[in-house]
Structure 1
Amino acid sequence: MTSILVLGLSHRTAPVDVRERFAANGDALPQVLARLSARPELRETLFLSTCNRVEVFSNAAGDPSTGRKRAIAAIREVLAEYAGVTPSDLAPYLYEKHGEDAVRHIFRVTASLDSMVLGEPQILGQVKDAYDAALAAGTLGHLLGRCVHRAFTVAKRVRSETALGAGLVSISSVAVDLARRIFGDLAGHTVLLVGAGEMAEAAAKSLGKGGKGIRVANRTLANAQALATSVGGTAAPWSALEEELVGADVVVTSTGATNYVITADMVKRVRRARKGRTLFFIDIAVPRNVDPNVHGLDNVYVFNVDDLQEQVAEGLKSRQKEVSLAEGIVNGELSDYVTWARSLDVQPAVVALRAKTRAVLLGELERTLAGRLKHLGEGDRAALEQMMESAVNKLLHAPTTRLKAGAVNGAESEEHVKTLKHLFDLPELPRTAEETRARMPREHEPHQRADDDERIPH
């Protein structure tokens, strides 16, 4: 349990100019996962990269006390290489969690309790994609795999048992709300959507049917036309972007470009044509689409994802009750997972005790059947063997149950295992979760894809 850890950064610890260093390298994600899985310090790994967070979920190899430190150092090196900086440059923005705190964090992230917009549904799909990628790469095992799959259960329960996702549930909807705060009724103003992906679509839905008030510019004109048609707006070719800026009042940008699509020089030219009219940019892309220097121009204002925090905080006030309900779900599922994970510590002792007891009793039975009871037929012999198996199960039921129940208390469980080993002269037990897994049937391994609603079998 103590070997599970999380290392990463998010909108809570790193500004957008740091986060976009990772988002700009989206094509490198499989290579990053491969580099992580190649590190001997990491037994299991999952790599999550979104607009607002970059995190590694892992199960550290080796002794928990020293293995975690080595695992953290290994992850820092890989993340720093990915971002093109040194580990020391990255260190101020990173947080680390381990043991129960790490599991709680994984549950809260997946349930959108740690998102910039609480209750937004996108993060669940992003974690599922990361889970599927890790499964495909063979970097998930029993402990972390079950943890992440349990996180999906948490997220589904939060969505079905609370109203956390009611109201503003995406950065796009928050951006549109900000536009309405600036202008009031948007019906008399022109909103330009730059980009036609999922975030632009969410913004368009939040705007509603806007007639000529909504315009969409995108590199692929067909995509712009499809989005514009769905909201009663008008599509514009990418080559006319600068001309579109002249007529817009609010510009919402959300393209996947890795460089600025709206530059300071472009906006300077647009300002002259606008003759002093105020222009607002709401840049919800990571990496950013609008050059930050644009904000310094007269009558031009730029808001990026970090600037939306105030609007997000106001929306949270009305949902505190739902947050409390969701945190209760997290705590309950965390308790169940911790109990299961700690039971793995006693599993080798249970297996060894049952194996030794069965071997002793069946050995005595075989000697008796070869001697005084050698006249018995096959039916009677089978009945005696079945009786012996039943005796083993009944005899060991109480100690097995109490060992597993005591696993909730780590120190007590360790003491019980030591005593059991001493009293029954049990053979050397596996010392790590990996050794335990090696002795367990293959069906205990996580194998479901993220869209499978069933939990990993016990």
Structure 2
Amino acid sequence: MHLIAISINHRTADVALREKVAFKEDTIRSANVDLFETKAILENVILSTCNRTEVYVVADQIHTGRYYVQRFLARNSGLEVEDIKAISEVKVGDEAVNHLLRVTSGLDSIVLGETQILGQMRNAFFIAQEEDTTGTIFNHLFKQAITFAKKAHNETDIADNAVSVSYAAVELGKKIFGKIDNKKAIIIGAGEMSELSLLNLKGSGVNDITIVNRTVSKAETLANNHGVSYASIDSLPALLTDADMVISSTSSSDYIITNEMMQSIAPQRKNDSLVLIDIALPRDVEPNINAITDVFNYDVDDLKGLVDANLRERQLAADAIAAQIPQEIDAHNEWVNMLGVVPVIRALREKAMNIQSETMDSIDRKLPHLSERERKVISKHTKSIINQMLKDPIKQAKELGNEKKSNEKLELFQNIFDIEAEDALPKKKERRQSSKQDLRTQILSFE
């Protein structure tokens, strides 16, 4: 039994290749089933997002398991197996567990510490579980990974500090105003940075947003996509008289907001303060505009300092989380090792208790006149003898589970006591559905 993780991510492949290997939402269930029916695959979970496609499997052999997963990805994407190999990271055993824990807790994301991947990993696991492609190993391991990531986010501030310029711009507005959900915002520009700023504003509860752009059709498209207002660049002076916050990110070579413009509208201003956040290069807001009363201007350099400081804070939190991963790996390995021990201990106890039961039957035949109380005393004492005799062998069996070549040593242990333990891991066709809802409830309760 071997744990394998195969990852195609933002480090190994560009966006065009990642798009090819990604699984569409309506095919992920059938893809899990398809992979599960493949030779050598005992359990599997598929994660597919815009930044990564990951396949986790329990396989009976490393080489065949890895090959069949890569062949599966090639068939799904239309690429050759060699192409998949070239853009894949392959992790086995402890490295695979380490990778799963890092990905789930956001340590492997483009934006360090982002929390969205936790929900995506949880959903990927739920889908695989619902399709019955997980079993004993993954039902335990993915619960452990999700629990670990949730705990890491709760106990550190890794996700609390803005590390993108557009996000930092909105966070700066929060620092200045305290609350911004009741503020009027203007976004100048209709490109990618403007859209990110718009999403961050809406995510912070700001609904009164107007997009201003020289090409009105672009402003209209962006505004309609997100349910906000739009206007032409000529409307900007009038809009500024009633605004609280402006985020500007155009590609203009000229200043969009000038000292002259602000001087002319200052007497008409209805609100106390106007915060201008200029994330454009070259700048959209004329320098020294701060000289105007109650107008505060921040540019990319101001935000960069905030982002850099926040990134350092995130890295410190990430280091603290990463330091906990080795003990999580040890805990997983200890649990896996005990899988082989538990059936052995159970078989030993069953044999011992059968002997005790047969002995009591013999006593009943030879001493038929024993009272019920006398029989209970004898039964209790014979069970006590058995438990004392089993104490050291059971302890030894548990220790054997954590030793090298544990399978061979446990087999010898069974031969010594003439017992036969059942397989701890059910076969593919022996999976039971009964425990799924309980496990799903447990994982959802971590939120």
Same fold (TM over 0.5): yes
Residues 202-251 of structure 1, C-alpha deviations (whole Å, 9 max, x = no match): 46547978853568766994x622xx3xxxx5499xxxxxxxxxxx9748
Q: Secondary structure, in 3 states, of the residue corresponding to 1:341? A: helix
Q: Deviation at 1:50? A: 0.8
Of 206, 220, 224 in structure 1, the residue corresponding to residue 226 of structure 2 is 224
Change (3 A) 1:79 1:446: farther
2:410 corresponds to which residue?
417
Residue 434 in structure 1 maps to residue 391 in structure 2: no
1:249-328 correspondence to structure 2 within 5 Å: 250=249, 316-328=311-323
The amino acid that maps onto 2:9 is S
Of 58, 62, 72 in structure 1, the residue corresponding to residue 66 of structure 2 is 72
Q: Secondary structure, in 3 states, of the residue corresponding to 1:452? A: helix
Residues 281-321 of structure 1, C-alpha deviations (whole Å, 9 max, x = no match): xxxxxxxxxxxxxxxxxx9xxxxxxxxxxx99986444332
1:295 corresponds to which residue?
none
Question: Contact (CA 8 Å) 1:3, 1:59: kept in 2 or not?
Answer: yes
Change (3 A) 1:200 1:59: farther
Residues 106-164 of structure 1, C-alpha deviations (whole Å, 9 max, x = no match): 11111111111111110011011111111211111111111000011111111121121
Residue 452 in structure 1 maps to residue 408 in structure 2: no
2:325 corresponds to which residue?
330
CA distance in 1, matches of 2:432, 2:186: 66
Where structure 2 has 5 or more consecutive residues not aligned to the other structure, the ranges are 172-184, 214-218, 233-246, 256-281, 283-305
Q: Deviation at 1:448? A: 1.4
146-155 or 397-406, which deviates more: 397-406
The amino acid that maps onto 2:190 is L
1:254 corresponds to which residue?
none
Q: Alignment RMSD, CA only?
A: 4.2
Residues 236-272 of structure 1, C-alpha deviations (whole Å, 9 max, x = no match): 9xxxxxxxxxxx9748xxxxxxxxxxxxxxxxxxxxx
CA distance in 1, matches of 2:6, 2:161: 31
CA distance in 2, matches of 1:447, 1:383: 41
Residue 191 in structure 1 maps to residue 185 in structure 2: no
Question: Contact (CA 8 Å) 2:401, 2:410: kept in 1 or not?
Answer: no
1:28-427 correspondence to structure 2 within 5 Å: 28-60=27-59, 62=60, 67-168=61-162, 173=164, 176=167, 190-192=188-190, 201-202=199-200, 204-205=202-203, 211-213=209-211, 221=224, 224-225=226-227, 228=228, 234=230, 250=249, 316-370=311-365, 372-411=366-405, 413-414=406-407, 416-427=409-420
Q: Which has the higher contact order (CA 8 A, sep 6+)?
A: 1
Q: Deviation at 1:345? A: 1.9
Question: Contact (CA 8 Å) 1:111, 1:156: kept in 2 or not?
Answer: yes
CA distance in 1, matches of 2:412, 2:318: 44
191-200 or 327-336, which deviates more: 191-200
Q: Deviation at 1:423? A: 1.8
CA distance in 1, matches of 2:377, 2:253: 97
Percent identical: 24
Change (3 A) 1:362 1:325: same
Question: Contact (CA 8 Å) 2:22, 2:48: kept in 1 or not?
Answer: yes
Change (3 A) 1:202 1:377: farther
Structure number with bigger Rg:
2
CA distance in 2, matches of 1:127, 1:235: 40
Question: Contact (CA 8 Å) 1:46, 1:58: kept in 2 or not?
Answer: yes
Q: Deviation at 1:431? A: 5.9
Residues 74-111 of structure 1, C-alpha deviations (whole Å, 9 max, x = no match): 21122112212121221101111121211121111111
1:7 corresponds to which residue?
6
383-392 or 15-24, which deviates more: 383-392
1:290 corresponds to which residue?
none
Change (3 A) 1:207 1:426: closer
Question: Contact (CA 8 Å) 2:189, 2:212: kept in 1 or not?
Answer: yes
The amino acid that maps onto 2:357 is L
Change (3 A) 1:23 1:176: farther
